Amino acid sequence: MKIKNYLNFHLRDMFASLFIIFSLLPWVNFGLNSRDSQVWPLLFGLIFLIFSIHKKVPVLFLYPIIIPILGFFTWFFLSDLTTDGIKGFIAIRGILSYMGFAVCFIGLLFFLNERKFPINIFLSINIVYVIIGILQAFIDPAVVSSIVASRDQSFSSNALLARGVTGLTPEPTYFGIFLYFISFIYLIIYDFKPPRKITLILLLNLITIILLTRSTMVLLFLVITVPFLIHRMNVTFIMLGALLTILTVTFTIFFFPETRFVRLANLVIENPQILELVILDESINDRISHVLFPLQGALLNDLLPVGFHKWPETFAYLTDYWDGIFWYGTGGSIMSFFGLYIYEFGFLGLIIMGYIFIKIQDGTYGRFMETSLLFILLNTSIPPSFPLIAFIFAIYFYKNFQNQNYLTESGSQSIKNENK
């Protein structure tokens, strides 16, 4: 019996670590498939939760399981129950995406209930992402192509003149999204008072986003972030961040004038009207349509659940409705975290998101501004199963549950010991 308990304990500990590690490497597929699916967080998260099933936890921790259950019932009652072909694939992938979100949400809550926040794992993998990005920029853009499925297979011989590097993600925008939200996690973990080591990582991520990923969408994230979070940040950090941003942008403009960021800046100067920019730039055109179309489609359906199979029809209809303004992209899948919930689940999705928003509040103005920023950004191209979003929600849930400010290994005690 002692041997069995010993094995269970160490196996659970091993799968807990694997769950965290692969949640930070969601797109690493080791060449097993050519899709950007995020299967490892779901797999290791489920195994970790199976080993933790005997643990007593607050009922609140189990709330996210409602999401994949709702996805299944949406498929069952509203969609064509096809188990093969494209319709079956879309439905199954949709349900698995919601399940992945719920597993990561619940998994981190279980993890934090017994362990310290794994800040060292986060920092180590964060640095690996940046190193891979540097290698792609200066040595070989395809350095990790054998383990990560990239959406852009036409690697440039000079990555610094291309769109941007991808790190351990399928495309530059996702690389930027990863760095942005892992930085967001550092800030909320340390209650916006990060120690020097974390501050340096935050500045490194900022430089990497601007210089290496060059994602216009994530650069917009940074601009939107300032009015929401500036009141929470240290003056020194603000000054350093502003200085590094100015220097990095200036460096890019003068030494790499062919990059997409600079070309977009020139386009804005030549066509200052926002509508002109939306029409002329393919990526902006595509991303704005995926913010607008799911919400408009949900309203056209009176906020009733639509299911998984009608999106291509809705996309085609709304493309015609807007009479050529939104011309780029296809209706393959919804590229909006919030829009996905509202379109597929209707008013039920609105209730789910509203409930999460309420439950992650703590009654302070600072938390309200943080979470309002988060929900604004969730309207953009963030995958529904992206583990870092589930982690952010889980951290907020747990901070409220424990009524504490810090969840770090650098503290003198673990979460578990602080409750004794």
Evaluate whether 328 touches 285 at the Cβ level (below 8 Å). yes
Tens digits of residue pLDDT in 27-61: 998 766 656 667 899 999 999 999 888 777 777 77
Give the residue, 89 or 101, on which the prediction is more confident. 101
Residue 83 tokens, joined: 């188990």
Mean pLDDT of 245-253: 66
State the SS3 of 14-25.
Answer: HHHHHHHHHHCC
Q: Please report the pLDDT score of residue 39 as a whole number.
A: 86
Measured CA to CA, the distance from residue 358 to residue 204 in angstroms comes to 33
- CA distances to 74, 259, 278, 400, 415 from 286, in Å: 27, 19, 9, 37, 43
Give the residue, 411 or 134, on which the prediction is more confident. 134
Residue 269 tokens, joined: 């100067």
Tens digits of residue pLDDT in 82-95: 544 455 567 777 88
Long-range contacts of 91-96 (CB under 8 A, 24+ apart): 91/308, 91/309, 93/37, 94/308, 94/344, 95/68, 95/71, 96/42, 96/385
Which of 136, 218, 174, 185 shows the shortest CA–CA distance to 28?
174
Measured CA to CA, the distance from residue 392 to residue 187 in angstroms comes to 11
Tens digits of residue pLDDT in 130-176: 999 999 988 988 888 888 877 654 444 454 445 789 999 998 999 99
Measured CA to CA, the distance from residue 275 to residue 267 in angstroms comes to 12
Tens digits of residue pLDDT in 302-314: 998 888 878 888 8
Which of 104, 16, 117, 11 shows the shortest CA–CA distance to 61?
104
Q: Residue 416 pLDDT more than 90?
A: no
Evaluate whether 95 touches 69 at the Cβ level (below 8 Å). no
pTM across the whole model: 0.87
Place of tokens 């199963």: 385
Amino acid identity, residue 175? F
Evaluate whether 167 touches 132 at the Cβ level (below 8 Å). yes
Q: Residue 260 pLDDT more than 70?
A: no
Place of tokens 């399940």: 99
